[in-house]
Amino acid sequence: MDVTTTGDVATTTLWYSENGGTPTTIPGLTDLSPDQVLGPFPIGSSVHVELLHESDIVCDKNLGTFTHNTPCPPANDLCANATTLTVNLPAQCPAQSTAGRTIDAGIESALPGCNGIGTIQDVWYVFNTGYSQSPINIAIAAGSIGHYGVEIYAACGGTAISCTPNSPALVSAGGLSSFTDYRIRVFTNTSLGAAGTFTICVYANTQPSACGNTVYDPGGTGNYGNNQNVTTTYCSSTPGEVVTLTFSQFNLEDDFDFLYVHNGPTTASPVLGTFTGTTIPAGGDQHPRIRLPHAAVHLDGSQVRAGYTANVSCCATPLPNGNAYEQYPVCTGSTLQLNAGNNIGTLFSWTGPNGFTSLAQNPTIPNVTTAAQGTYTVTVRNGANGCPTVATTAVVVRLTRTRSPLHLLATICSWIFRRAGGIQRRHATDLHTSQRHHDQ
């Protein structure tokens, strides 16, 4: 119903009664209010509707009595059109409940495995388990519904995994696979009670620790499906640690399917990034990792893709400052001095060419050869489980050569260094060995 004008007052009240019963009122309506939906009502119901004047009952408007005689099936009457539910945290239910009804619903599949003898009216829901801890809990609060049962399916047209009869307030489903879609069938057996309205909310605890695990989009290792809105929280079991997602694959339909990453436990937390397409998500340091994630995925109604794969790691802050550099010149036969800076962390791990490794902060390599040339990487942490900072330096090893100008025998190493304004060549005399006398 749409209110088009309120006459000489600011607001009006919508009043209606089903079959002469207790009336329901919706106050404060104006010509700018959205359409008001009444019901649903069972077939055969008579609903009387009036608009009440703000202050003068003489001006009340009787809109008439209406009989519901044409079935209007719910949008999720068929399994293929199942309503998507998000797996919430326990504290978010019942606030995040979804309204439903079996009124005017038909029966799509076989009789339920419980409470199944009679006329069945069913509706369908779908949820993705994500990275949730077993069991998954399905909470249902009855409105006008007189009876309902709950079945869980792995897919439309399959065999029910479980069936819970007799209007349960809570169904706990254990043993479900992570990152997998499951269907919920809510049905009314009209021989046991009337079809009606209800609310449904799905919740579970997150895994006690996501650290060290590989996680996926709702499609798991295959393609994701259409029309999915899946929210997953990744956390550490150690207080004070932050969580990092490092992506190895990312493929969402560009500008239609999205991954939202939040800095906190819910989708109301600040957004760290919104990602789509095939570019690997990167954090502020431009590495393919994002810290402190609460991930929400929205997938549209067409075009599926491979989705994403990410590793979850956890570490303690603060993040150390890190750099890496070597002491010039580096000549064959000399000592290569590597440096990670001062007062930047407590643990160091170096790797480099020719199988080089070291746990020293500022390691050295004596008597270097050209095999020591290449990129050296140092990882710096504050403590064994500290968050890592990674730095690199490129080492060039120059050959030494011997010159004997006049009476001087010398070993000379040359190298190139870069600075603002250009490239300069320098020479260093590494070793004076002897003087050579010539006969006159």
**Alpha-carbon separation of residue 362 from 100, 336, 339, 378 (angstroms):** 66, 10, 4, 10
Region class of 393: left (phi > 0), else alpha (psi between -120 and 50), else beta: beta
Q: Give pLDDT, residue 416.
A: 40
**Domain 325-395 carries which CATH code?**
2.60.40.10
pLDDT at residue 73 greater than cutoff 60: yes
Contact call for residues 147 and 115 (beta carbons, < 8 A): yes
Report the range out of 92-96, 174-178, 354-358 with the highest average pLDDT. Answer: 354-358
C-beta separation of 272 from 338 below 8 A: no
Residue-level pLDDT at 285: 44
Most confident region among 38-42, 173-177, 322-326 by mean pLDDT: 173-177
Q: What is the pLDDT of residue 295?
A: 64
Q: What angle do CA 203, 208, 209 make, to 5 degrees?
A: 125
| Spatial separation of the C-alpha atoms in residues 56 and 51, rounded to whole Å | 12
Cα distances (Å, whole numbers) of residue 368 to 80, 339, 365, 373: 68, 16, 6, 9
Which range among 144-158, 197-211, 276-290, 303-317 has the greatest average pLDDT?
144-158
Q: State pLDDT tens for residues 179-194.
A: 889 999 999 999 999 9
Q: What is the pLDDT of residues 377-422, one digit of tens each?
A: 999 988 888 888 888 999 998 887 655 554 444 445 544 433 333 3
Question: Given pLDDT bands bounded at 50, 70 and 90, which one contains residue 3?
Answer: low
Alpha carbon of residue 8 to chain centroid: 51
* Tens-place pLDDT, residues 112-154: 999 998 999 999 999 988 777 789 999 999 999 999 999 999 9
DSSP state of 35: P
Could you tell me which residue, 53 or 288, shows the higher pLDDT?
A: 53
The pLDDT > 70 percentage for the chain reads 82
Residue 2 clears pLDDT 70, i.e. is over it: no
Q: What is the pLDDT of residue 414?
A: 47
- Residue extents of the structural domains in the chain: 12-67, 79-203, 214-316, 325-395, 400-435
pLDDT the model gives residue 298:
61
- Is the distance from CB of 228 to CB of 297 less than 8 angstroms? yes
Whether 325-395 and 214-316 are alike in CATH topology: the answer is: no
Of 223-232, 283-292, 330-339, which gets the smallest average pLDDT? 283-292
The answer regarding whether domain 79-203 maps to CATH 3.20.20.70 reads no
The yes-or-no verdict on residue 97 having pLDDT over 90 is: yes
239-277 per-position pLDDT tens digit: 778 888 889 999 999 988 998 888 877 778 888 889 999
Q: Which two tokens stand for residue 400?
A: 């030494």
Predicted confidence at residue 424, as pLDDT, reads 36
Tokens of 206: 């997150």
Percent of the chain with pLDDT strictly greater than 90: 37
Range with the lowest mean pLDDT among 19-28, 222-231, 332-341?
A: 222-231
Flag whether pLDDT at 426 surpasses 80: no
pLDDT at 357: 96
Residue 430 has pLDDT above 70, yes or no: no
In this prediction, residue 327 carries a pLDDT of: 66
Is domain 214-316 given the CATH code 3.40.50.1400 in the classification? no
Q: Which of 14, 64, 21, 11 is nearest to 41 (CA)?
A: 21
Task: Name the range with the highest mean pLDDT among 25-29, 299-303, 315-319.
Answer: 25-29
Instruction: Output the average pLDDT for the chain.
Output: 81
